[in-house]
Amino acid sequence: MEKKETYKIILSGGGTGGHIYPAIAIANELKSRFPDAEFLFVGANDRMEMEKVPQAGYDIKGLWISGIQRRLTLKNLSFPFKVISSLWKARKIIKSFKPNVAIGTGGFASGPLLQMAAYYNIPSLIQEQNSYPGITNKLLSKKAKKICVAYDGLERFFPKEKIIKTGNPVRQGLLDIDNKTVEAKDFFNLKHGKHTLLVIGGSLGSRRINELIEKELDFFDTQNVQILWQCGKLYYQQYKIYNNTNNVQVFEFLNNMDYAYAAADMVISRAGASSVSELCIVGKPVIFIPSPNVAEDHQTKNAMAIVENHAALLIKEEDLEADFENNFLQLVASPEKQKELGQNIKKIALINATKDIVDEVEKLLESK
């Protein structure tokens, strides 16, 4: 067997934080086990992984790849050329780096990279975050050795013998937030004894959630609610004016998510797979507002997997005008309901996901 310290590990995941942070978490765990291993990430040019991965201390190479638009656009005309270009570059990267294993956590670049890894007989592992996989991972699953999933029932889409239910990797700092509540509220200069609402719309922000929060600021004030509002990079210039408002703090991006979750009594969130997994571990009452603009309506399916266990509330964007205030009032007025939702969502959490995934990677490394 090859010496552990010579392992070369290639990872691909990007486009959104939901694909990037799981890949980084997996790499960090692998690095702790194999300190002398070499790591290389592959992402999509001009996407956020090209910034976030180097910040985490890893090298990354970019491919000229993007998703196909659902409507007819000029961008779609370039899609076949992007695929050919990305496959060619992924082939060059694989031949040059010579990885022992390839790991894909989703995003545009995962397809070409794992396809080329399979062509060169490099064992690959897919980490599927969603309850309803996208077309790329469905295609890749035929050649992948292992498929780590976070939800039951995915044998409808993947070969059953390859599936391991591990959960989604999350930031390690979230595992002990119960002990940080007072410290976290002080960190954000929040008032003790006042309801704290955390609003998170994904790494880039959510236009519709931001519009909702802006519209409901007076309503929140009447309910004795203070707000930590991550509005996202795309919207910060528009909403930062509310930092001058009592009981509202607006952030482009929250770097101290452990404190943000610890300080929160309630959360309003999109339902991206990583956010859902984090919220299960955090164990706070959640109102999910899924994005309707993602492939195969992933977010609604992710949220429904939690709601069906009486562990969260869900309001569709189209129902916000009619239903939001009534749903929020019922939640904020009922400590019993808050406790029930918090306890139920925590039962769904898979807290050892990163270690369990890396156990499977290690088996692939040792089988070579």
Annotated binding site for UDP-N-acetyl-alpha-D-glucosamine: 16-18, 130, 171, 203, 299
Backbone angles phi, psi at 57, to 5 degrees: 100, 15
Q: How far is CA 355 from CA 123, 171, 173, 358, in A?
A: 19, 12, 15, 5
CA 360 and chain centroid, separation:
20
DSSP for 83-124, please give it. HHHHHHHHHHHHHHH--SEEEEEESTTHHHHHHHHHHTT--E
The C-alpha angle 125, 127, 132, rounded to 5 degrees, equals 130
Q: How far is CA 316 from CA 226, 290, 323, in A?
A: 24, 6, 9
Strand partners, 127: 148
Residue keyed to tokens 């591990």: 166
Annotated binding residues, written as ranges, equal 16-18, 130, 171, 203, 299
Query: What amino acid occupies position 87?
Result: L
DSSP for 134-163, please give it. -HHHHHHTTT-SEEEESSS-GGGTS-GGGE
Give the three-state DSSP class for 73.
coil
283: phi > 0 → left, psi -120 to 50 → alpha, else beta; which? Answer: left
Half-sphere exposure of 126 (CA within 13 A, CB side): 32
